[in-house]
Structure 1
Amino acid sequence: MDVVLINPEDRTAVKNKLGFVLPPLNLMYLGAALERASFSVKIIDDDLKRMGAERVAQLVERINPLIVGITATTATIKTSLEYIKAIKRLLPDVLTVIGGPHPTFLPEDTLRDCSALDVVVMGEGEATIVDLAENYERRGAASLDDIAGITYREGERIRVNMGRALIEDLDEIPFPARHLVPFRDYETSSQDAGGMITSRGCVYPCRYCSSSLIMGKKFRFRSPENVVDEVEELVEVYGLHDIAFLDDTFMLHRPRARKISEEIRRRNLDVSFVTSSRVDMVQESLLRDLRDAGMSTIYYGVESGCQRVLDMMKKGITVKQAEDAVRVTKNVGVDVITSFILGYPGERPSEMDRTIDFSIKLDPDYSQYSILTPFPGTPIYKELKARDLIEDDWENYTVIKPVIKYEKLGLSRELIQKKLVKAYLRFYSRPRYLLKHSYMIRVFFETLYRTYIEPRIPFRKDRWVEKNE
């Protein structure tokens, strides 16, 4: 085996607290790129298997690959580095590589924090990982100085190479190598397992989001034919008929979105799919076209019910646009998911309450709430870091725990946590809502327990291991 790619165990994410584990789409993209370059690849999804760093390291030792790569979010960076350390102890000569949003923005810090780590891949990884593997296979570690898009260790020094240009033609990227994961083992809906990405990049300047910094401010997109080719593969090869388009803004290029709907209908594909959109991009005729092609649900990042807060976020939308978008979508007969952020710096408690009230007024089918989490790389992170208003306890960067020093802003972390619980309680405990969505009763109480009660229970690793052995 040439390359082993690892998805680390993530005990911090809300999705895992509720029992949902999704196939690692990012690693499947990397695996596909490596396989096309004639490398043999294995993906170990330890977020699914829950073996732990030491047992994964023993498995990797038996495989004895040339390169080990692992992905990391901010919440999982500490755990990811534990895997790297355990593997390096058993295979001191293996090249250890890490990628993902957190190391992309803090590459030098990540290397300094782990002497067992050799390389950080920054940003979009398909071309970089292939370049890295080809060079390392031919010439070893001495050849890393001319590989764009990496930061790496050279003896006692850390070197930052030039950035890599973004991939212009996304149709050239092979479809994710879904055959590299145990697809049927994921205890989740087929919709989640059938996730796919049809575009990259974001042109908007939201201060809490790093998407445009990772994937560029230019909106790059796959052709409608290429997108529907993958949809067809999911249907015919994997037997999936429920699909989630995981783009930040699927409907940003409306003519393309319309052509995708037309192509799905032309091929007579029996699919149901979820998309996302900004509320200022909504067009009723397009919603109808997408609905007729199978769109069942749409996700809107509303974020606040207070215009002043939306302006501070640089969201670029109005409260009225959010109202109109949800109303039109429901009239068309498509389910609506809305998301909201509480605790934005400068937001008043009364404005958080207005957001909660607004979310109920919109009456979407589902609503998600989170606490403002200033992830590295975002404009708000840089501002708060400069003002000494955040703590770099990365495991708390879960969007359900306050990491901002709200006390310095005249508030408290306990208040923000209570607002989050209040939001979920008020939205999901409405008798009228529960009568319409009776299956949400269990999910509601599970969410309440995991976000508010469980974090106050001392963690017992022996119990976790016993439960998951």
Structure 2
Amino acid sequence: MKVVVSSLNAKYIHTCLALRYLKAFCRDEFDVDMAEYTIKDPVMNIVSDLFRRDPDVIGFSCYIWNIEETIRVISVLKKIKPELTIVLGGPEVSYDTEYWMNRIPEVDCIVMGEGEETFLHLLRELSASRKFHFVFGIAYRNKAGEVCVNPGRPKLNLDDIPSPHRFAEDEPALASRVVYFETSRGCPFSCQFCLSSIEVGVRYFDIERTKADLLHLIDSGAKLIKFVDRTFNIKREYAMDIFQFLIDNHRGCVFQFEITADIMRPEVLDFLAEHAPPGVFRFEIGVQSTNDATNELVKRRQNFAKLTRTVSMVKASGKIDQHLDLIAGLPEEDYASFRKTFNDVFALGPEELQLGFLKMLRGTGLRHDADKYGYVYMDHSPYEILGNAILPFSDLMRIKRVEDVLEKYWNAHRMDRTVRYLIDREFDSAFDFFQLFGDYWEERGWQKIGHQLEDLFERLKAFLLDRGTADFEVIEGLMKLDYFLNHKYKPRKIWWDFTLDKTAQLRGMRMLAEQPQRVSPAFAALGLTEKELHKHAVIETLPFDLQRYELDGTIDRSGRSLLTVVFEPDGSGTRHFSMRLESAAAIG
């Protein structure tokens, strides 16, 4: 019996951990082939590839992001190969299972919940007596075509599951893909919007096995490993042991963890501040809301003061990037309350602020109580809300515009200096900047057309000029610096007219080559010739003292600055320098 397990990932760089668990657990009895695609792949390309593999059984791993595309693939597969046995599994079909069996008549079985042992038992029955009523944890169709749902299966001892990280076929692509890794299963919390709250208790894999798998992945070339544990730091000793192990053995690999910030002990933070290599760890922190009433309604225990302490200490260390999550649309959080939540969290200065929208996931308590709060939501995946009793669709659409501009201008780090200046000095709050700019963006129809880097700068400039923003020359100066620093190599295209004509630029380059100490000892140490400067550097004047602004935030317009940006020839880095000028004529 030929078996294929498959999934449609959200992006090519992603990998499906579930497929590897299934293959590893079944390998002593069945040869299981893995086939991964993306939700962007044409249906016929996926079907053609699966047909070419000529399987007897195909198991699809289903999630909120791929279920609709998977259904389209299944529909075609069953038409061209009616004898094929199709099995579904994964979190999207583990709840309301009878609904899925009725909606997708092409599906023969669904594996509910933890799938390794159940899938193996199902394969045994498919290859032999086909007594499906003996297989705990599945739904199937009996001989009369009726849907039968068997009782659930007890949880596995995690140490009985073979490693999913030892397949030679994975190794060539490890450096270019995201590797997903788990050290535990389950979650200790009861958040009513999250599927993880349904599984009671937390189980851990043996730590020595975990270390051995991590070391194998690192040695095999993995560059990014994302831990999928819902709360990596819930067991402090286990987390500290893994942190230390990765500090000792990272070899340039990057590791991302989902942590609960308000339970992070100060001694753990001090340890990371002292020992974590810069850039090797990333933390993802689900804040979701700072409204206490909202958190109580969704059974989310959170101490925002302690969370703030953790985020602030991590940020102060300069070692670990932080990705903070928010959810718009939670119970009793209207537009004004969400604005406060957004501003509370943005004030913490995360490297990335992810603004998501509540989804009514099957199996969650909040979906069960949807009518209580007046929720309206999409019938099919992703089940995103369309409004509730206090947050109408019109307000959700406004917040969508905030999300769009937030992604383009903050999370993408295209204008960190400019955006920070605008929020601190020109707008009432971070939320108001993103909202007003998002409204302006949509009014002009820019959401319907693409953009290149220079377009983002030109559109922000148009917004600020139309708004009548004070001190635009200063803001434009910061925009110029941000634009240069977004390039690995000297840019061929700019979106403004240089303040220096060609003669002044030639004079400036000559001065930098002959008198580099006028700029700074660090610039002089580069030892750049005039020819190298012309090839790998740009100069521009700014209408304020950039050195002083970067030192203490003061805008001193009594003089100008000569900004010099140097691009490494190999594209490995960009450095900027500035020197004070009393006037543009002072160059040379």
Give the TM-score normalised by structure 1.
0.81
Q: Does the 8 A contact of 1:223 with 1:256 survive in 2?
A: no
2:228 pairs with one of 233, 246, 264? 246
Q: Is the 8 A contact 1:75 1:396 kept in 2?
A: yes
Code of the residue aligned with 2:137 in structure 1: it is G
Matched, 1:330 2:315: yes
Counterparts of 1:374 and 1:144, CA distance in 2: 31
**What is residue 89 of structure 1 aligned with on the other side?**
79
Q: Match for 2:395: what amino acid? A: L
Code of the residue aligned with 1:132 in structure 2: it is L
- Spell out the pairing of 1:195-206 with structure 2 (5 A cutoff): 195-206=180-191
Cα contact 1:258–1:290 (8 A) shared by 2: no
Q: Which residue, out of 33, 39, 42, partners 2:25?
A: 33
1:417 paired to 2:397: yes
- Which residue of structure 2 aligns with residue 257 of structure 1? 239
Change over 3 Å in CA distance of 1:359–1:420 after alignment to 2: farther
In structure 2, the CA distance between the partners of 1:166 and 1:330, relative to structure 1 (3 Å rule), is same
Q: How far is the alpha carbon of 1:40 from its aligned partner?
A: 1.3
Shift of 1:51: 3.9
1:339 to 325, 332, 348: 325
What are the equivalent positions in structure 2 for 1:187-336 lying under 5 Å apart?
190=176, 193-213=178-198, 216-237=199-220, 239-264=221-246, 271-289=253-271, 292=275, 295-332=280-317, 333-336=319-322
C-alpha deviation, 1:404, in angstroms:
3.6
Change (3 A) 1:405 1:338: closer
Amino acid at match of 1:194: V
Q: Distance in 2 between matches of 1:224 and 1:272?
A: 19
Measured after TM superposition, the shift of residue 424 of structure 1 is 5.4
The Cα of 1:436 is off from its aligned counterpart by 4.8
Aligned match for 1:156, one of 145, 164, 175: 145
Return the offset for 1:334: 1.8
* CA deviation after TM superposition for structure 1 residue 296, in Å: 2.0
Listed as ranges, the gaps of 5+ residues in structure 2 are: 419-433, 450-588
Deviation at 1:289? 4.2
**1:307/1:319 contact within 8 Å kept:** no
Matched, 1:7 2:7: yes
Q: Please tell me whether residue 104 in structure 1 is matched to residue 104 in structure 2.
A: no
Q: Which runs of 5+ in 1 are unaligned?
A: 11-15, 439-443, 458-469
Aligned length: 423
Are residues 1:147 and 2:135 paired? yes
Question: SS at 1:240's partner residue?
Answer: coil
Amino acid paired to 2:215: E
Shift of 1:184: 5.5
User: Which residue does 2:353 correspond to in 1?
Assistant: 367
Residue 243 of structure 1: CA displacement? 2.1
SS in 1 for 2:385: coil
Equivalent residue for 2:471?
Answer: none
- The residue identity in structure 1 corresponding to 2:29 is S
Q: CA deviation at 1:207?
A: 1.1
Query: Does the 8 Å contact 1:99/1:121 carry over to 2?
Result: yes
* Matched letter for residue 357 of structure 2: I
Q: Could you tell me the TM-score, scaled by structure 2's length?
A: 0.65
- CA 1:293–1:106: 2 relative to 1, 3 Å: same
Q: Distance in 1 between matches of 2:224 and 2:363?
A: 33
User: What is the CA deviation profile of residues 314-335 of structure 1, one whole-angstrom value per residue up to 9, with x for unaligned ones?
Assistant: 2100221221110121133322
AA aligned opposite 1:2: K
Deviation per CA, 1:107-126: give whole Å up to 9, x if none: 10000011111111111111
CA displacement, residues 346-386 of structure 1 (integer Å, 9 cap, x when unaligned): 21211010011112211111110101111111110111157
Change (3 A) 1:97 1:431: closer
SS at match of 1:381: helix
Q: CA deviation at 1:193?
A: 1.5
Displacement of 1:430: 6.3
For 1:123 and 1:369, the matched residues in 2 are separated by: 28
Change in CA separation of 1:254 and 1:44 when aligned onto 2, cut-off 3 Å: same
State the Cα RMSD in Å: 3.2
Q: Assess, with a 3 A threshold, how the Cα gap between structure 1 residues 124 and 246 changes in structure 2: closer, same or farther.
A: same
User: Is 2:338 the partner of 1:352?
Assistant: yes
Report the CA distance shift for 1:387/1:456 in structure 2 as closer, same or farther (over 3 A). farther
Once the two structures are superposed, what CA deviation does each residue of 1:239-279 show, in whole Å capped at 9, x if it has no partner? 12432222111111011111223344566865432212112
User: Any residues of structure 2 matched to 1:121-140 within 5 Å, and which?
Assistant: 121-140=111-130
Identity among equivalent positions (%) equals 23
Q: Give the Cα separation in 2 of the matches to 1:431 and 1:131.
A: 45
- 1 or 2 for the larger relative contact order (CA 8 Å, sep ≥6)? 1
